[in-house]
Amino acid sequence: MCGIVGYVGARNATTLLVNGLKRLEYRGYDSAGVSLMNGQGVETRKAKGKIAMLEAAIEAQPIHGNIGIAHTRWATHGPPNECNAHPHHDCSGTISLVHNGIIENYSPLRAMLQKTGHTFVSDTDTEVLAHLIEAAFDGNLEEAVIDALALVEGTYGIAVISAKDPDKIVAARKGSPLLIGIGDGEHYVASDVAAILQHTRQVVYLDDGEMAILTRDSYRVCDLDAKTVKKGVSRIDWDLDKIEKGGFAHFMLKEIFEQPQTIENTMRGRSVDEDGFSKLGGLNLSKEFLQHLDQIIITACGTSWHSALIGELMIEEHARVRVEVEYASEFRYRNPIVSEQTLCVVISQSGETADTLAAMREAKRRGAKTLGLVNQVGSTIAREDDGGVYLHAGPEIGVASTKAFTSQVIALALLTLKLSRLRNMSVVQGREITQALAALPAQIQTILDSASDIEKIAEAFVDAENFLYLGRGYNFPVALEGALKLKEISYIHAEGYPAAEMKHGPIALIDENMPVVFIAPHDAVFDKVVSNVQEVKARGGRVIVITSREEPALAGKIDYEIRVPETIDMLYPVLTVIPLQLLAYYIAAKRGLNVDQPRNLAKSVTVE
């Protein structure tokens, strides 16, 4: 969501900070700002809208300095405008602060501060922090930050500078990601490594309850009792070109076309064909536990929740373990049945999703073992889970997830294979799965090679107002995902349903103006889906079918056909979702919309 960048060193920080913010644009935001120590005090420029508006404000009134903080805001408290944009200041204008997260008790704190003479100028919860630090300040910025945060309830990732204690940045985190970048005679703070990768590959990830004090020549990490904490340094091993478009019109299109490689990366070294087995070295779970666990809970949000539904079907069919899929946002607010024989699998592309992280912590508190499926190395979920599987899909910049989804499904397939072979699956059945997995990259490429055909279909639906997506079995979650992709980036209302449930309500919507997408490969429930196609066509619906071979039963009943290669039932979602990603992309692009940064959405949702 919101983005933070900070710099202390010898260089002019203005351009460096603004460029860092540009690397964070994919996260979603509605305003931006920057504060610099200019040698005499703190100077700030802010603007509503995109970073280009901030650049214009800086060009009109240039600012310079060697220490600064910058921010992109995704509005929570107060509308998106220049006043509510970060950074925020204290009454004197000597303290400047940027903040990701939500201060839950900001209202009573604000009332308390107003009674003691503090004046507020914004609608935000964040401004409270600046005034709390001002009230606690006695010459040392980090001590004031510690005192202020002791009064705060909620989540935060903050970076603070003060003209009264210059030459340093103080940063702290609780529930919102933050990292330190280590340079030569300079240091950085950021909410996402993409902001600083151009300048350093050496980073230190802060954990909850930790604070960092950065100067030009040093950094120190401590807890909120001011006790020094020893931290390891991590090296970022992916290159800057991974967050460039590489000649594609949008990051989303680039990431769709990367999927033959990304799912191969997820499988590399993990799928063992000759044994029909999978190696998942990071599980940290004993063979005995995996053989005798009595239930699996998979918890996730959004697209990750759809991959979880596919995982549920895989594991129950092949490993014969009871699986429940939970919305992470609901899991911790009820009284779930969890025991020491429960495995809680948490899925998050970023590894920072607030609801998913909280659900994992709740499961651990209740005694469950936790397994994280994440894409971001060094993320909070990856550091706090009992074991994990990295997706290795590379940075995903487009807000609408594509390659992370297919990598999640592959990771769940590998987990299914491991569980099944440990419990009840023969080597012959295992080999069938590993061979089908190995064929997927080339099969996806054949679909991508026909992208222009899908683009032509998209032209017919640019002006559609509603879509219905229908699937059964493994492809019902694909219907949900296809509908989500369309509404995320094209703003067309779309719903996904089990195909048989169409008769129990949605069929009332079907007329000659209603496009209906059927996900109908030749799997175990294909014949049933054909019956549903006939029901839609009889009512004049415009039918798009994704299927896997020529089928006489569909002749004359469909308006558009998209063909995918054949595979085993459990892996069809990896293939059938590709045309839906492309269809959503082309419709949105032809509507002239910002595909990579759809309105109101954020890449990493780090607030409830």
Catalytic residue among 174, 254, 537, 603: 603
Q: What is the DSSP string of 297-350?
A: EEEE-HHHHHHHHHHHHHHHHHT--EEEEEEHHHHTTS-----TTEEEEEEESS
Question: From CA 70, how far away is CA 86, in angstroms rounded?
Answer: 8
Mapping DSSP onto H, E and C, the string for 486-502 reads HHHHHCCEEEEEEHHHH
Among candidates 45, 54, 35, 6, which has minimal Cα distance to 95?
A: 35
Residue 510 in contact with residue 543, Cβ under 8 Å? no
Burial (CB count <10 Å: 0-12, 13-18, 19+), residue 500: middle
2 is known as an active-site residue? yes
Among candidates 443, 2, 22, which has minimal Cα distance to 245?
A: 22
- Backbone angles phi and psi of 539, in degrees to 5: -105, 15
Question: From CA 143, how far away is CA 138, in angstroms rounded?
Answer: 8
3 state SS of 84: coil
Angstrom distances, CA of residue 77 to CA of 81, 98, 100, 130, 158: 11, 14, 12, 16, 16
Pairing of β 387-390 and β 369-374: parallel
Question: From CA 279, how far away is CA 271, in angstroms rounded?
Answer: 6
Which segments of 7-140 does DSSP mark as H helices, in order? Answer: 13-23, 51-60, 106-115, 126-136
Pairing of β 3-8 and β 210-214: unpaired
Among candidates 521, 495, 525, which has minimal Cα distance to 510?
A: 495
Handedness of CA 93, 96, 98, 101 (dihedral sign): negative
Among candidates 564, 586, 414, which has minimal Cα distance to 485?
A: 586
β partners of residue 222: 211, 228
Contact residues for 301 (Cβ-Cβ < 8 A; gap 6+): 327, 328, 329, 348, 353, 355, 356, 605
Which segments of 336-402 does DSSP mark as H helices, in order? Answer: 354-365, 380-384
Question: From CA 335, how far away is CA 332, in angstroms rounded?
Answer: 7
Q: Which positions are annotated as active-site residues?
A: 2, 603
